């Protein structure tokens, strides 16, 4: 997990400091995955890596429907047009002739906009999915263009166990665009331990960082194929699991 000013710079660079980056789109290299984009859908982003450690390329794709009826004019605060098209997460093993689909999930990833909270920025701005060696990471940002100075970044870290992706870590960075106050929380679901670092400030090197460890106890295994949408929202889940609080 990134620390101190490094995280603050990353948050600012992704839009927390003012101007939002452009929504993720498909590059020419993503033509490789055209076969996985059905009519009425588009490829938003793709990442590649070695998820299962066999030395071959694996990939994760984020798709979105292109239904014009799900784009609504918004006369109030926030984006002038709300894109409510649903998204799909697709995880592929051994990209190429021997390729197989490990996971296909609809209804899990948030849409670009939220009709009830039109000021909320796209949680997947920047791609939303990362694939470091042996891991799949869902990376969500949280910030609004009106109504709140709070911002943050959340990561759900998975590893392959058999044919399923198990949640092994949850990391969250909370940041105030007004005061610069910042808190970082990292939870290891395998050991049941949580590390919280408070007293950070993104704007100034002042204050003293305080580190607190907490024992959460045994955690029931959570897998990406059954992860609940409310758990992905974390603070919105009720009742929320211990690792999500």
Average confidence (pLDDT) over 204-228: 87
Average confidence (pLDDT) over 219-234: 87
Average confidence (pLDDT) over 222-232: 89
Residue 135 has pLDDT above 70, yes or no: yes
Report pLDDT digits (tens) over 153-183: 899 999 999 999 999 999 998 888 778 788 8
What per-residue confidence (pLDDT) applies to 212? 94
∠ Cα 155 157 161 (to 5°) = 165
Report pLDDT digits (tens) over 82-127: 999 999 999 999 998 889 999 999 999 999 999 988 988 899 987 7
Could you write out the DSSP letters of every residue in 53-115? SSSS-EEEEEEEE--GGGEEE--SSS-SEEE---EEEEEEES-STT-EEEEEEES-SPPS--S
Q: Which residues contact 50 (CB under 8 A, 6 or more apart)?
A: 56, 57, 58, 133, 134
**Position 27 confidence tier, pLDDT thresholds 50, 70, 90:** very low
For residues 166 and 234, the model is more confident at: 166
**Position 144 confidence tier, pLDDT thresholds 50, 70, 90:** confident
Cis peptide before 239 (omega within 30 of 0): yes
Average confidence (pLDDT) over 55-71: 97
Q: What is the span of the domain harbouring residue 166?
A: 4-244
What is the average pLDDT value for the chain, to the nearest integer?
83
- CB-CB neighbours of 235 under 10 Å: 13
Report pLDDT digits (tens) over 29-60: 457 899 999 999 999 999 999 999 999 999 99
Q: Domain tally for the chain? A: 1
């Amino acid at each position: 997990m990134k620390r101190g000013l490094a995280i603050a710079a990353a948050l600012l660079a992704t839009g927390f400091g003012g101007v939002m980056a452009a929504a993720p789109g498909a590059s020419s290299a993503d033509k490789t995955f055209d076969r996985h984009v059905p009519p009425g859908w588009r490829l938003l982003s793709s990442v590649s890596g070695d998820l299962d450690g066999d030395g071959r390329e694996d990939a994760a794709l984020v798709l979105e429907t292109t239904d014009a009826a799900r784009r609504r004019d918004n006369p109030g605060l926030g984006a002038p047009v709300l894109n409510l098209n649903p998204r799909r997460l697709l995880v592929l093993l051994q990209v190429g002739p021997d390729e197989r689909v490990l996971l296909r999930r609809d209804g899990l990833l948030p849409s670009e906009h939220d009709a009830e909270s039109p000021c909320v920025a796209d949680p997947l701005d920047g791609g939303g999915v990362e694939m470091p060696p042996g891991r799949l990471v869902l990376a969500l940002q949280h910030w609004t263009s009106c109504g709140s100075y709070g911002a943050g970044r959340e990561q759900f870290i998975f590893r392959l166990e058999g044919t399923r992706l198990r949640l092994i870590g949850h990391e969250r960075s909370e940041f105030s665009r007004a005061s610069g106050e910042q808190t970082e929380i990292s939870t290891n679901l395998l050991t049941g331990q949580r590390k919280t670092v408070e007293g950070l400030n993104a704007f100034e090197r002042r204050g003293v960082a305080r580190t607190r460890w907490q024992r959460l106890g045994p955690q029931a295994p959570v897998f990406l194929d059954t992860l609940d949408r409310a758990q992905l929202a974390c603070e919105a889940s009720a009742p929320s699991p211990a690792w999500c609080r």
